[in-house]
């Protein structure tokens, strides 16, 4: 079974030969390979041959990441939201792994709010203003999703943080009006175009988990343990409906100790792997400042787990 087959079968809750793995981002390329992605701010200034060389440099780094860490998929994140880069990744890696692109700021979310006081006022005094903004974000997202489908992508990764550690960033009933209808249409469009859909949000999502399930996406990433989200509980509610990715605690990957990293990684694998529908990964990304050895520790746990792995029907583990 190759990585493409493994990912597709995972997203469909079908038996696989081992647990799949990739990360939404890997930002330790200097430490790992003595190579450097261009900064995101540089891309608008790169033209012609210079841009072509920069794109090829990115593909070289992605190839190192995929081969070194055994990634089964790649969501192109540098350059950000760039269909040309996604098309190049499809050409280079699409025969062996799943390839997709990022589509952020697609709905009103924590990262889209610049003035919280004005946002709070608008929620209750000028809802139409927020709808106008949401529609603009939605239209841009739909255009990007179409471009990914046109360039041969397999999936779209839609990151919108809509929860803090204490819970959803606005009342869930307001989300039903201002967020979820737009997100649902984006998911439906992507699926109609033949794309798999990954959703991302950090935070305590339990009050809105059923709403996230109802979007009809294929996979939900983060499953944030630092916000108190227990992947065993989430698995009970999502199995057969929404695949899961993540949950290895990023604060432990930052600070250790290594034994706690191993315990966190093992917990994810034990409680989320049965019955399929689980992609091993961190609760966010491999971010700057994280000791590279801690990522390797996490992967050692995965490799040990996969050595004895055999697909089993979903089992409800006691937490």
* In the block, residue with structure tokens 């994280």: 290
Q: Quick one: average pLDDT of 311-319?
A: 75
Long-range CB pairs of 81-88, under 8 A, 24+ apart, other chains included: 81/144, 82/43, 83/144, 83/147, 83/148, 83/150, 83/151, 84/55, 84/151, 85/55, 85/58, 86/148, 86/151, 86/153, 87/151, 87/152, 88/55, 88/56, 88/59
Q: Quick one: average pLDDT of 255-269?
A: 98
Q: What integer pLDDT is reported at residue 248 of this predicted model?
A: 98
Q: What integer pLDDT is reported at residue 317 of this predicted model?
A: 60
Report pLDDT digits (tens) over 137-152.
999 999 999 999 999 9
Q: What integer pLDDT is reported at residue 316 of this predicted model?
A: 74
Q: What integer pLDDT is reported at residue 318 of this predicted model?
A: 47
Confidence (pTM):
0.97
Q: Quick one: average pLDDT of 258-263?
A: 98
Residue-range domain boundaries for the chain:
3-307
Please provide the average confidence, as pLDDT, over all residues in the chain.
97
Report pLDDT digits (tens) over 195-220.
999 999 999 999 999 999 999 999 99
Q: Quick one: average pLDDT of 280-287?
A: 98
- CATH no., domain 3-307: 3.20.20.210
What value, to the nearest 5°, has the Cα angle with vertex 279 and ends 278 and 283?
110
**CA-based torsion, 196, 97, 281, 201: positive or negative:** negative
CB neighbours (10 Å) of residue 203? Answer: 22
pLDDT confidence of 315, banded at 50, 70, 90?
Answer: confident
Q: Quick one: average pLDDT of 78-107?
A: 98
């Amino acid at each position: 079974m190759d990585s493409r087959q493994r990912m597709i079968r995972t997203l469909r809750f079908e038996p696989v030969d081992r647990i799949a793995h990739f990360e939404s981002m890997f930002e330790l390329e200097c430490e790992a390979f003595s190579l450097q992605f261009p900064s995101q701010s540089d891309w608008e200034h790169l033209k012609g041959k210079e841009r072509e060389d920069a794109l090829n440099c990115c593909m070289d780094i992605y190839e190192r990441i995929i081969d070194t860490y055994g990634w089964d998929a790649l969501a192109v994140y540098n350059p950000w939201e760039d269909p040309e880069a996604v098309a190049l990744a499809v050409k280079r890696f699409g025969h062996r792994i799943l390839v997709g692109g990022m589509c952020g700021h697609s709905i009103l979310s924590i990262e889209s709010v610049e003035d919280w006081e004005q946002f709070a006022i608008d929620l209750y005094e000028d809802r139409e203003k927020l709808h106008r903004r949401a529609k603009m974000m939605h239209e841009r997202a739909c255009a990007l999703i179409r471009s990914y489908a046109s360039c041969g992508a397999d999936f779209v990764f839609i990151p919108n943080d809509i929860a803090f550690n204490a819970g959803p960033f606005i009342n869930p009933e307001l989300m039903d009006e201002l967020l979820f209808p737009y997100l649902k249409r984006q998911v439906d469009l992507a699926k109609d175009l033949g794309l798999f859909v990954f959703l991302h949000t950090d935070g305590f999502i339990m009050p809105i988990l059923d709403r996230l399930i109802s979007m009809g996406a294929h996979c939900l990433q983060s499953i944030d343990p630092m916000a108190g989200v227990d992947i065993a509980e989430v698995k009970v509610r999502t199995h057969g409906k929404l695949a899961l990715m993540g949950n290895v605690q990023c604060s432990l990957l930052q600070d250790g100790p290594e034994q706690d990293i191993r315990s966190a990684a093992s917990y994810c694998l034990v409680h989320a792997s049965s019955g399929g529908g689980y992609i091993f990964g961190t609760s966010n990304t491999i971010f700057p400042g994280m000791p590279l050895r801690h990522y390797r520790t996490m992967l050692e746990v995965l490799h040990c787990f996969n050595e004895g792995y055999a697909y089993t029907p979903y089992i409800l583990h006691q937490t």
